[in-house]
Chain A
């Protein structure tokens, strides 16, 4: 196993872990930050697959703007998920 493949395997593992974290957090602000980490890892994976255009777009839109919109929405509503 070459170091390149090992790096890709680590990034993909991190993607799965952050994706599980997003749906398991009850604190919505923490979930938004986990989503930003997910987008950052996804953009790193795009870069490793030699698609720098998509990587820049993903880092800008996914990690930057979407997180900002989520945080503004949380600021206007409430921070914690309601218990059922």
Chain B
């Protein structure tokens, strides 16, 4: 089942926008609706669009299985390390040791309803980013494995 040129061009055009929107949802996870899982799913949808529209050999130049595996492992590792960091600051595992401390993502937050500051939230943006790239890597690896398995059966 080969897709037409229209589908391939549209997928090529939408692919970077999907990635950017997913990254926006991930980065603004502590201010607007969404978060790591949702943003990662949107990014993975962008790669899925490319994978559906093209043959397996066409996409391996842009989406590499090894890089996606590395993304997934790095995401989970970032989550664990950020959580373990709390143990060295007198907090529990996954305790929010960066919030409102003046350091990384540590600005004071205004109470009440406001537009929000991107540099607040402490641990939450880090965990969001970790989960985001983990979901992107995991779902893309699943799709790549399925596609490569189908290609072998055809032979």
Contacts and interface: CB of A to CB of B under 8 A. Distances in A.
Interface of A: 52-53, 56-57, 60-61, 64-65, 68-69, 71-76, 79
A68 B150 contact: no
Interface residues of A, dominant DSSP: helix
Interface size class of B (residues with CB under 8 A): 20 to 34
B33 A76 contact: no
Interface stretch (B40-48, B74-82, B121-129): B40-48
B45 A60 contact: yes
Contact of A64 (B37, B45, B146, B153): B45
B150 A75 contact: yes
Given A57-B41, A72-B143, A76-B153, A64 B48 contact: yes
Interface of B: 1, 25, 33-35, 37-38, 41-42, 44-45, 48-49, 51-52, 139, 142-143, 146-147, 149-150, 153-154
Contact of B52 (A56, A57, A72, A76): A72
A57 B150 contact: no
A11 B147 CA distance: 34
A52 B146 contact: no
B38 A72 contact: no
Contacts of B44: 60, 64-65
Contact of B48 (A68, A73, A75, A76): A68
